Amino acid sequence: MLVAFVCMVAFAVLLARVTLVPSPASRSLVHANFHPLASIRAYLDQPDWRDSVKQIGGNVVLGVPFGMLLPVLFPRTRGLVRVVVVTAFVMLCVETAQGTLVEGRAFDIDDVILNTTGALLGYLLVGRLIGRALHPRRRHWWQSYRVARMRERAGLRASRSSVPPSP
């Protein structure tokens, strides 16, 4: 658990360094993107495919550690939908901070989409397994009640079928 916490802190520092470093030189080139997939289309339309891979792949890779570490540190966030929702919210906050507070940076909804996709991949490949290994599933009170009722019904059915039919 301590290792996961250290990794999450390292990830947060890396994320801050990559996304929240000012870039005054690109101030005039920056524009916000609120239209989903617009930046991704622009990346794919570039003549040099290496730039496309760098932009798209970099954003996807940036989200992978989040999907791996989130269910380890916060067991209540286990589950595909929960990981996606929490990651999208956190990345939306990062992009908002980047667009409003950092000079030469802008908000881009496609970065949120790509980071969330990376977290989803990280969760499906590793996070789900590690989360289940460290935090086994909890049985809730209604689950034990349901199991008891199912056993009771099965017992009644078994006793009915074991009684020979009357002549």
* pLDDT (tens digit per residue) in 30-58: 778 899 999 899 888 888 888 889 889 99
N residues, the chain:
167
Contact 63, 91 (CB under 8 A): yes
Answer with the residue of higher pLDDT: 13 or 152. 13
Residue 167 has pLDDT above 70, yes or no: no
Contact 88, 94 (CB under 8 A): no
Rounded (10°) angle between helices 109-122 and 49-73:
60
| pTM metric for this prediction | 0.73
Distance CA 101, CA 22 (A): 9
Contact 38, 107 (CB under 8 A): no
